[in-house]
Structure 1
C-alpha cells in the first residue's frame, strides 16, 4: 500500500470521537482555527490545545480541542465576524475579524471582554476576510466594495501584548488589484512576505509584500472565472495555490511554473458536484481544502445540505472521492480544521454542532442533534462574477 493509499484509508476511517454540548443560543459555526504554537513554555501549554470558533451570534468561542468543552466566549463590538486565527508564535493570542472595520486580538488566558489590541481600519471599511502572517508580524484584512473602492489593509502586529486596548492604525493599503469584495486572504505557511487574496471579481492574486509598491508586489493574477469562496497553499514548499468558488468550482495553480513556458494551471473544475455525483454520493457544496504533507496530496472537503461530509483527493486528472462521513451533522458544514499531528478532523456547521473526528473512534451514547432553523440573514451572500484580467502578469491557462 502506498503512502497516499494509506492516508486515504485513514481519512475514510474517520469517526466521531467528540461532540460539543449544544448551546442554548443556537448559531451557525462559520470559521475555526486551532492553536499550534510551541508547547515548550508553561505559558503556552495551557493554550496548546484550543479551538477558536467564530459564530453568527456574533461571538468568538474558545473550546478545549480534545474534550470540546466550552472554555469562554468573547463578545465585543457589534457586526458580523469575518474569521478567526490563532497567532503562530504565541498560541495564547487569537485574532477575530469584524465587519465593523477592525481586527481584534484576544488573550485566550483571560476572560476579559476587552481585546488586548484592536487593529482599526479606515472609516468606510467593512472587513469580510483577514489573515495573520506565519511570523505574526503582519495582519491583513480585505474589505467589501464601497462605491468603487476595495482594499487590502495591512497593520504591523509587533508588540501586540505590550499596549493593551490600544488601537493600531494601518501601515497602508493595496487598492488596485481587485475590483470587488475581497472574500478570502491567506498568508503563505512558511514565507511571511507572501499572501494570496481572492475576490468576487474572480481574481486570485499572489503578492510579495516586501516590495515597495502594489504594482511590484503583485507576482501573479489568476482567474477562477467565478466568485472565490476559499483559498489555500499546497504542494512541495507550498508553491501551489488553490481556490474553491461560490458556484462549487475548483482551481489549482503551480506558482513554480511562473517563469517557465509550462502552463501553471494544474486543474480547473467548473462544477465539482458533477465530478463527485454518483448514485450513492451526492455533493452539494465545497467547504475548502487542506494539504497533507505526509502524503504530499491536496484534499478537498465538501458535503450535503443534510450534513454528510465528503473527502476528495485532487490530482491533475481530476477529483476523486476518498470517503464519506455520516451520522454527525444535520445541516451544512461551514468550517473545518485538519490536524496532521493526530490525523483528526474538526468540523462545524449550520446545526451549531462542533465535532471531532478520529480514525476508528466512537462517540458512545451521544445523540445527533436536530437541524436548527436560523434566519437566512446570517447566510453568506453568493455573488458570481465573470471578469477579464487587467494588465498584470497572468497565469497561463
Structure 2
C-alpha cells in the first residue's frame, strides 16, 4: 500500500456549504461542480487560492457534468429541470455559456458528449411510464437528432460514448440493464448491439474497444465483453460485492486507462476515514484487482463520502472532491 498525504485543498465557504459533485480535468485547469449549482475552474496545483472562475448554472439541481472537449476547456452540464448547457471555460463567466438546450420534459439524470461526433446525449428519469435517451447533433441543436424510448424501462443513470467509435453509446439504468446502441440506427428494434443484465446501474463505461464495466447501486462490480463470439449477456468477470472483496463501503468511480490496459477503481470507507485507488489489470488471461499496488489516502474526507476523484500521473497528483465541501490534492509523502 502506498499512502499519499494531503498537500493542498480548498473548502467551499458558507454555513451550509455544498457537496462537491464532480471534478473534471480540462486544459485550463480543474473544473468542479457543486450542489449549489456552481461550476468553478481551479488551478489543480494551487487549490488553496480558490476558484479562478465561478459560474452559476440553472438546472434546478445539477445531476451530471462531463468534458465535451477537455483540451479546449469546454464542459457540459445538465440537471433536474431538463436543460443542458455547454460552457467554454476559457471565456469570462458572463460569456462562458456557448449553448443552452431546454428539453421541456422530465429531469435529465445522465449525460454523455463527444466532440469527435459533435454529439450530446442525455438520459431521462422515468416519467409517464417512459425513460428516454435523447441525442443532439450540436451542429444543428435546435431539435434532437434521435430519441430512444424503449431501450430502458426506468431511470437512465449512466451514458458513455465509445472512445474510438462514437456512434456506439453505452447506457445504464435502474432497470438493471447495461445496453450498447448504434446511434446511426433509428429503428428501436434494430438499435441494440448488446445488452447485459447487471442490476440497478450506478456506473458503467467502456474499458477498451469491446470490454466494459458496470457497478450497481449495491456495489456489485462486473466486466462484460460485447465482442463477437463471446457468450451474450454473461459477465466475463464477476467480482460480486466490491465492499466484501476489498473491505470498503462504497465505490466512488472507475477510470479506464487511455491505452485500454485496465482501469483505476476508487473506493472509500467513511468509518475508517480512508480512500483507496486499486488498479484493475489483466492477471494472466483474466482481469483481476491488483492489491499489491493500492494507493491510499489516509484521512480522506473524514467521515464524508468522496464523490469524485482524478489523478494526474505526470504531476504525481491525486485530486478528490467530497460531501465535506472540499477539494483536496494528494501527493507522495516526503
Verify same fold: TM over 0.5.
yes
Of residues 240, 249, 260 in structure 1, which corresponds to 2:211? 240
Measured in 2, the distance between the counterparts of 1:102 and 1:176 equals 21
Mapped to 2, the partners of 1:27 and 1:240 lie a distance apart of 36
Q: Encode CA deviations 1:180-213: one digit per residue, 9 max, x unaligned.
A: 0001111122222111010101100011212243
Cα distance, 1:338 vs structure 2: 3.2
2:69 aligned counterpart, secondary structure: coil
1:289-322 deviations in Å (ceiling 9; x for gaps): 1223569222211101254112223354654532
CA gap of 1:342–1:292, structure 2 versus 1, over 3 A, is farther
Q: After superposition, what is the alpha-carbon deviation per residue over 1:126-178, rounded to whole angstroms, capped at 9, x for unaligned?
A: 1011010151600000000002110001111137xxxxxxx732222111110
Name the SS for the 1:275 alignment partner: helix
Matched, 1:273 2:263: no
SS in 1 for 2:105: coil
Which stretch shows the higher mean deviation, 150-159 or 173-182?
150-159
Answering whether residue 285 of structure 2 is matched by residue 326 of structure 1, we say no
For the aligned residue pairs, the C-alpha RMSD in angstroms reads 2.5
Matches within 5 A, 1:23-38: 23-24=13-14, 26-35=17-26
Residue 328 (structure 2) pairs with residue 355 (structure 1): yes
The match for 2:224 among 253, 256, 269 is 253
How many correspondences in the alignment?
322
Contact 2:160-2:171 within 8 A present in 1 as well: yes
Matched, 1:142 2:123: yes
Q: TM-score, normalised by structure 1?
A: 0.74
- Are the counterparts in 2 of residues 32 and 336 from structure 1 also a CA contact under 8 Å? yes
* 1:313 equivalent in alignment to 2:286: no
Q: By percentage of residues, which structure has more helix? A: 1
Cα gap change, 1:276/1:76 in structure 2, threshold over 3 Å: closer, same or farther? closer
* SS at 1:112 equivalent: helix
* Residue of structure 1 in register with 2:308 after alignment: 335
Q: 1:338 to 1:216 in 2, by over 3 A?
A: farther
Task: Name the residue aligned to 2:41.
Answer: 62
Q: Which residue of 1 aligns with 2:105?
A: 124
When residues 89 and 357 of structure 1 are mapped into structure 2, their CA distance, relative to the original with a 3 A threshold, is closer
Give 1:13 deviation, angstroms. 4.8
In 2 relative to 1, CA 240–344 (structure 1 residues): closer, same or farther, beyond 3 Å? farther
What is the rounded CA distance, in whole Å, between the counterparts of 2:96 and 2:257 in structure 1?
A: 37
Among 103, 108, 113, the alignment partner of 2:84 is 103
Within 5 A, what are the aligned runs for 1:40-189? 48-68=27-47, 69-88=50-69, 91-108=72-89, 109-112=91-94, 115-121=97-103, 123-135=104-116, 137-158=118-139, 168-189=142-163
1:219 to 189, 193, 202: 193
Change (3 A) 1:264 1:343: farther
| Equivalent-residue separation in structure 2 for 1:309 and 1:216 (angstroms) | 43
Seen in structure 2, the aligned counterparts of structure 1 residues 158 and 346 have a Cα distance that, compared at 3 Å, is farther
Q: Name 1:290's counterpart in structure 2.
A: 255
- Asked if structure 1 preserves the Cα contact closer than 8 Å seen for 2:203 and 2:215, the reply is yes
* 8 Å contact kept, 1:32–1:83: no
Higher strand share: 2
* 8 A Cα contact 1:120 1:170, kept in partner: no
TM-score by length of 2: 0.87
Q: 1:127 to 1:293 in 2, by over 3 A?
A: closer
Q: What SS is found at the alignment partner of 1:270? A: strand
Which of residues 212, 217, 230 in structure 1 aligns to 2:203?
A: 230
